[in-house]
Structures are given as C-alpha cells and as structure tokens.
Amino acid sequence: MKRREFIRAGAALGGLAPLAAGPLAGLLVPESALADAPRVVSDRHVPSGNIRDYLCTEARRITDHAALEFPKGSAGRAWRTERHAKFLEMMGLDGWWQERREPPPVTVTGIVDRGAYRIEKLYYESLPRLFVTANLYIPNRLAGRVPGVLYVCGHSRDQKAHYQAHPRRFAELGFACLIVETVQLGEVEGFHHGCYREGWWHWYSRGYSSAGIELLNGIRGLDLLAARPEVDANNLGVTGISGGGAVSWYVAAADDRVKAAAPVCGTSTLYSHVHDRTVDGHCDCMWWNNVHRWDLADVGALIAPRALLIGSADKDGIFTIESIRRVHAQLAGLYSKLGSAKNLRLVETPGGHSYHARSRTEIFSWFTRHLMGRAVDPSRIGDIDERPEKQESVETLRVLANGSPPGNRMRTIQDELVVPAAPPAIADAAVLTSEQRRVVAALRRTTFGAFPSKPPPLDVQIEHEFEENGPGCRFAFTSEEGWRLHGHVLRRGAPPGPAASVVVLCSPGEGRSDPRGFLPRVRIGGPGIVVETRGTGDTAWSEELNWHLRRASAWTGRTIASMRVWDTLRALEAARRLEGVDPSRISLAAHGEMCAVALYAALLDGHVHSLFLEDPPATQDAPGEKDGRGPAPEMLGCLRITDLAQVAGLLWPAELVFAGKVPSTYDWAKDLYRRLGNG
C-alpha cells in the first residue's frame, strides 16, 4: 500500500464501530482495564528503570531459585522426565531426541600404534552428513571391556593436538578415551559465534544455540563409545575444559549413561554472568535458549545423584570463584538430600582460566574410583606428560587428509537443526480461532514465559496537562517492577464522550517529537497516545550497549523485543483507563522494528481494533548487525511457533492497515483475510 493510501485508510477509520467479540476477546484484558480515569498528580518522582539493574535483578531471581526441588520416589522420576524434556527443548534437540539410537556411522582414516595404546583417527556422523572429527585412544593390552571417557575440547586451535595429553593419560590408566572436536575450530569447521560475532541474532528467534549442536555431537560420541567392543557401556564418563567444561555439564545432564562427569573451568551462576558481565567473554555455546529461565544448578540437578566433580580456577577471568562456589553449594544441598553427598566434589586451583596439576590428578582419581571401582589417591595416580618428545604432531593426529567429506552440513547446521514453523493451513474461522489459542498458549509458555505472573499495580497517573494544538497530558504507568514508563495523550479538540483512540509505539532512537510526526498519518478522530516502551524515550540507552543487552537478556529468558511486548500490553491497559478513551475501540500503530512488537502485543491482547504497520520487518528469521546496533526484533523461540506474517493473519477479524515498504511475506496474511471475508 502506498503512503497516500495509508493516510486515506487511516482517515476512514474516524467513525470506528464498536469492537466485535473476536476469538480472543476476554482472554487477556483484566477487569481493571475499565477502572476510573486516574487523577492528576504533581511533584512526584519515580525512577524510570535501568536496564542493567533490571537484568541483574532478574538473573539473581533465577539464580536464587535454582535446584531448590527434587521430589522423591515416583514423583521425582516424573519431575526429572519433565525437566529433561525442557532441557532438550532449550537446547533445540527435542525434535531429534530418541531414547533408542543406532550408533553413528564411523569412518576410520588411520591408526597410530604407540605400544601401550593406539590412536584411531576417525570421523562420525552425529546426523546424516554432519561430520565430527575425533581421535580414539585405546589401551592395547586388554583383559576385558574398559570404561569409556568422552573428552570434549575447549576453544583452541588444533584441538585434538592441543589437548592430546589428557586422552593419552586416560589410555595409560586403562580407559578408552574419545576426544571430539567442536563445531568451531575443528577440522570440519562450522559456526559457534552466531550472536557473539556474526550478527545472527535470529538464532534466538529460532531457538538455536551452538550449545545444542555440541550436546548432540557429544551424545553421539557416547553412542560410538558404547558400541565399541573394547568399551564397558555401563561405565562412561565425560570431561573437558572451558567450552568443553560447559558441554560436560550438558552431556551428563542429558544422558543418564554418564556415570561420572568432571567439567573444568565451565561453571558459573547466571547472576554472575550478567552482573559481572562475564557473558561478554563467552561464546554462544556457553548457554542455552533459556525460555524456562534455568541456571546451571538446574542443569546439575539432572546429573544428581551421579558422580560430579567441578574443577575451577580461583582467578578465572570469565568464571568468578564466588559464582562457582555458589553453584557447588546449591548442588551440595541437593546431593545431601539424595543421600549422595560423596558423589559431589569441588576442586579449586590457583591461577587463571586453565588446568592445574591438582585438577587433572583429581579427575583421573575421580574417574578411576567411579568408573573402575578402584580408589587411587590423586597424589599417586600420575599427571599428564607434556614433554615435547611425547607430543604427536598436528599432522599425525589429523583425520581428514583431503578436506571434509562431500555433502558436509557443518557450516549450515545452524539453519537446519531447528526448523521454523510453516504457516498453518486455515480453512475457516473456526480453525483460525483454534490456531489463535494454540499460538498464544505456546508463546506464553516459552517466548513470553518471563512475563510477570503477578504484575504490580498499573498505578496510572496524569503527571502533566497541557494545551498543544488541543488538550493533552503526560501520564505514567508501571509496566513491571522497576519500570515506570511514560506516554503522551494528544487530542484535537475535546470530544463529547469516549472516542476511538490509537496507541503509537515510540521507536528506539526517536526524539520527543518524532512519533508526533507519525501520528497524523494514523488519523482516527480520537486521542492519539504515544507510548514509550523500555529503551525508548525516558528509558533509552545508548546503542553501543545493545550487543551486551541482547545477549544478557536472552540468557535470562527474554529479549529486548519481548520486554517491549509486555510494556505494550500494559500500555494498552493504561490507555483504556484514560479520560476520553473508549476502551473497546483501541488501535495500535508502529513503524519499523516496533511493528514486530505491535503484532505480538495485538495478538496477546486480543482486543485491538485496528493495527497500523509502516515498513514492517519481513521476518524474525534474518540476521542483524554484528555489533548489536540496529533493529532488535528477535524473541526467544518464536519461530518454532510462528512468524510476523502469520501473527498478522491470526489477528483476523481486527483491521490491518499496511504502509510504506510491505514485504511479500505478508501476502499470506492478506490472502487469509480475503478468504475469511475482511480483505
């Protein structure tokens, strides 16, 4: 639609009819929305909110409630089953997971015999054509099956060579040890740093994390080990450092076959990651798509009561020792309740982000005890041998002499593991109503699960009345704890009674008067209400903070856009209380990235009469700027449920008005409206 048509369509709505009872009517608007208009107040200052303080508070809330429950008996088993499913969902693996799996296809490309042990150079397919390069260290003189250890690498170049002393020592001690390379920095290289470095913020909307693909590759590595004739599948362990430390947590939590785990330098609370800003130093694989708002101790609760040794350095630059101790203390309470206190251990070592002789020997002793049933003191078990003459060259350990096999999916798996939902087939209004309810329920459970369950009083107050081309006012309302937001009511004359009104969403970076230039293009005859959601107007923050905020928000289970959706819902409720506003005839208008916010808010509200969208984004499945600046329309896991054009279609029978550049993706919504009779 041309801009002229947008203006003409908006003007035509001056005599809006009362809102018909739509499919979602009455679902989401509180009775308080029809309360009396607020009184005028003055000389009142309430802090408008600080985004960093808010995220720290929410992160602390999650940390404080981590690993607090673990029912006993059959209730505990059901609880664990439910939590395991949620964990896989947050990792993006729920559509893939099968309890019974065939071992992965394996190709051995060479064997290096070192007398006491041999090294098989191999790659396996964790999914068809998803190739993982690895070395398998196996003792040569075996009296029977031996325990298997999965060693998951950290973020280092030439990973198999860099960490080779660890699997070699395991083999010398009588273990079979499979060392697997990561997606990033391995021989078959893919992408870990989507949000961190590439500007692929749509990973959050997809519900994809590189943690998920590392977990998948680790589990398939266990499948490989368990199928080997030399390995005792009832005695498997997992360990690694840094990124490998994080993946050690994940693999042990997801797979009950892990009898002992030892994550090193991969432990912290969510609160520390946000408050201390250690999140800024971490790859995307260090956290999951946190729609259920978990902390690391919640992951650890899935490991309990199995053997878990946490190894950490006391001066680690990206994992504070206080946060490490907090995770251990939370799990210690849980292990104690389960009568398995001896199965949990924290080993602190001096220095920065690295191994130490103490952490290594403690791990070798830990695995010997829990996987072999032999008690060998760490002081006697022996450390790794890092003498240069003992190290294999990178070329000796290389698996692929001629590059990756044909059809390699490693560089595209981020676009294939989690597939966005297809547009639904909607034949009639009854099917549409059912789909509306399904989508809203799914969004509230995941994407918008961080919405306050008990929001504070709205407390709408008129702070300033003025005459500016007609009577107007500045008002304030409470969105959620810590956020006092503002709006401006602009009227042309004084209507004889409650009138149809439009709420216009202020966009990031706009000045005080900018939205007022947009407002005349959406003429409906009644009041225009410009609302400043967080990050706009009085609560705006500088764009250079966006890279941090987009990542820290996602780790706490929300995004900038989803927070603005909540603000918009509260703003609609506040607008319905204002004098001169007919609460049954509220419309919503936005342009640019705020169209995404308006679409979801209109769907969840269920009572928006008309929606005006200028230059809406085509989809939430698109990359952004690498430095985090620019539009931020991502919402956690939303693409697993719907996308912007589908949300637009699900607003039927509300009126939709498009202007500016309207992407072709919205043709689906336009076609649906035509078929249902409101084209």
Angle, to 10 degrees, between the axis of helix 296-303 and the axis of helix 73-91?
130
Average confidence score pLDDT of the chain: 91
Place of tokens 């700027």: 625
Radius of gyration (C-alpha) of the chain in whole angstroms: 28
Confidence of residue 42 (pLDDT cuts 50, 70, 90): low
Cα–Cα distance for residue pair 223/516, rounded to 1 Å: 61
Number of C-beta neighbours around residue 635 at 10 A: 28
Bridging pattern class, strands 130-139 and 117-127: antiparallel
Cα–Cα distance for residue pair 553/279, rounded to 1 Å: 10
| pLDDT value for 47 | 59
Cα–Cα distance for residue pair 445/423, rounded to 1 Å: 20
| pLDDT value for 28 | 41
Place of tokens 């508070």: 57
Rounded alpha-carbon distances, angstroms, from residue 421 to 600, 637, 676: 16, 10, 22
| pLDDT value for 9 | 38
| pLDDT value for 37 | 55
Cis peptide bond N-terminal to 305, omega within 30:
yes
Q: Is the pLDDT of residue 153 over 90?
A: yes
Q: What is the pLDDT of residues 10-22, one digit of tens each?
A: 333 333 333 333 4
Residues of the chain with CATH 3.40.50.1820: 93-415
Q: Which amino acid is at 167?
A: P
Task: Give burial (CB, 10 Å; 0-12/13-18/19+) of 297.
Answer: buried
Confidence of residue 424 (pLDDT cuts 50, 70, 90): very high
Fold entry, domain 3-54+421-506+517-526+554-676 = Rossmann fold (3.40.50)
Q: Is the pLDDT of residue 649 over 80?
A: yes
Q: Is the pLDDT of residue 646 over 60?
A: yes
Q: Is the pLDDT of residue 164 over 60?
A: yes
| pLDDT value for 72 | 79
328 conformational bin, left if phi > 0, alpha if psi -120 to 50, beta if neither:
alpha
What is 93-415's CATH number?
Answer: 3.40.50.1820
Q: What is the pLDDT of residues 353-411, one digit of tens each?
A: 999 999 999 999 999 999 999 999 999 999 999 999 999 999 999 999 988 899 999 99
Q: What is the pLDDT of residues 570-591, one digit of tens each?
A: 999 999 999 889 999 999 999 9
Report helix, strand or coil for 88: helix
Cα–Cα distance for residue pair 465/22, rounded to 1 Å: 35
| pLDDT value for 519 | 75
Confidence of residue 436 (pLDDT cuts 50, 70, 90): very high
What one-character DSSP code corresponds to residue 17?
P
Provide the b/e sequence for 546-582 (b: ≥16 CB within 10 Å).
bbbbbbbbbbbbbbbbbbbbbbbbbbbbbbbbbebbb
